[in-house]
């Protein structure tokens, strides 16, 4: 009876050893065939600095972190990337330089790029109605590899993160003193409205301007030394005293007689934006405002209501 009980037990142990050995060989073979199984490169990004703002685009730089946990290096000839803000495409660009990421290492890439102001403004306006100061950013990147890796010519990345919403300060022309201009005085006054929709204060430093009226270019131009601080989510009125050359005034007076308040104007306004927010620190603002003089009168009437 004793010999009968030992035989099945030994057989079971032998079978178990075979099974474990087979599984071990299978996993070893799988790992040998694909030594990077389970290791995936990843990317992250952040908005580093806004350098220049115009009425239709914004220049800025992104910082892109590429992490490579693989035991081999990756080299890309170039790559293409896009950024969506709450589902709206705000950035679409290419990085033409060669990018090399060593094995088990990370690389940070500075990406100078541009944002379409209209698309950004649409999202900002929608978020403003919701009363939120953050948004969902979605980054995609496609790296074109120098050499195929695991049978692939490209690597695809995606990254999602909720970040502070980019809201740009605004400058609007509120009033041009028509009455004084009609009296051909050499000193006029232009009122500008400085708008800060952000949750932090901003300063407008050392503004300069060029004002065209009708066909008369550079009717008034100059610069003002100083700083105007606009608190978070508030508006300030900024007055610019303007000195006008009498010869230019007389030339423009004839146009006023025939066109009156339908006379077109163009205001080019430049300044430096300073903020406690590093992203918007020392940004250059270069705006163009266009319209007709009657538009300013309508704006003034709306403000006085």
Beta strand 283-292 with 42-53 is parallel
Q: How many angstroms separate the CA atoms of 42 and 198, rounded? A: 32
3-state class (DSSP) for residue 131:
coil
Top-ranked range on mean pLDDT: pick from 29-38, 137-146, 261-270: 137-146
The mean pLDDT value for 63-78 works out to 90
Domain-wise residue ranges, the chain? 42-164, 170-304
Q: Supply the pTM of this predicted model.
A: 0.70
The mean pLDDT value for 32-58 works out to 75
CA distances, 13 to each of 16, 18, 174 (Å) = 5, 9, 91
Nearest Cα residue to 173 out of 282, 263, 285, 287: 287
Nearest Cα residue to 220 out of 185, 171, 259, 172: 185
Say what the pLDDT of residue 246 is: 62
CA atoms within 13 A on the CB side of 242: 30
3-state class (DSSP) for residue 34:
coil
Say what the pLDDT of residue 119 is: 85
pLDDT tens digits along 51-67: 999 888 899 999 999 99
Question: Are the beta carbons of 77 and 146 closer than 8 angstroms?
Answer: yes
Say what the pLDDT of residue 184 is: 53
Confidence of residue 148 (pLDDT cuts 50, 70, 90): confident
What are the two backbone dihedrals, phi and then psi, of residue 69, each rounded to the nearest 5 degrees? Answer: -85, 0
pLDDT above 60 (res 38): no
* Per CATH, domain 42-164 is 2.60.40.10: yes
* Per CATH, domain 170-304 is 3.40.630.30: no
Same fold, 42-164 and 170-304: yes
């Amino acid at each position: 009876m004793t010999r009968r009980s030992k035989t099945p037990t030994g057989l079971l142990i032998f079978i178990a050893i075979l099974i474990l050995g087979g599984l071990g060989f299978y996993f070893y073979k799988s790992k040998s065939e694909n030594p990077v199984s389970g290791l995936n490169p990843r990317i992250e990004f952040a908005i580093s600095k806004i350098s220049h703002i115009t009425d239709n685009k914004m220049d800025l730089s992104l910082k892109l972190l590429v992490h490579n946990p693989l035991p081999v290096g990756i080299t890309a000839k170039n790559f293409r990337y896009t950024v969506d803000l709450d589902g709206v495409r705000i950035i679409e660009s290419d990085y033409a330089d060669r990018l090399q990421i060593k094995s088990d290492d990370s690389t940070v890439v500075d990406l100078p790029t541009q944002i379409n102001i209209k698309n950004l403004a649409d999202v900002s306006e929608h978020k403003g109605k919701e009363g939120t100061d953050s948004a969902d950013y979605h980054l995609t990147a496609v790296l074109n590899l120098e050499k195929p890796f695991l049978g692939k010519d490209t690597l695809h990345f995606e990254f999602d993160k909720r970040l502070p919403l980019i809201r740009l300060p605004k400058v609007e022309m509120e009033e041009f003193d028509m009455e004084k201009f009609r009296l051909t005085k050499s000193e006029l006054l232009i009122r500008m409205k400085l708008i800060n929709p952000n949750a932090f204060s901003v300063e407008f430093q050392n503004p300069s301007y060029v004002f065209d009226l009708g066909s008369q270019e550079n009717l008034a131009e100059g610069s003002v030394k100083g700083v105007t601080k606009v608190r978070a989510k508030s508006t300030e009125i900024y007055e610019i005293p303007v000195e006008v050359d009498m010869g230019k005034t007389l030339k423009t007076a004839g146009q006023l007689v025939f066109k009156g308040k339908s006379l077109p104007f163009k205001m080019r306004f430049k300044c430096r934006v300073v903020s406690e927010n590093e992203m918007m620190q020392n940004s250059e603002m270069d705006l163009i405002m266009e319209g007709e003089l009657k538009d300013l009168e309508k704006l003034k009437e709306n403000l006085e209501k």
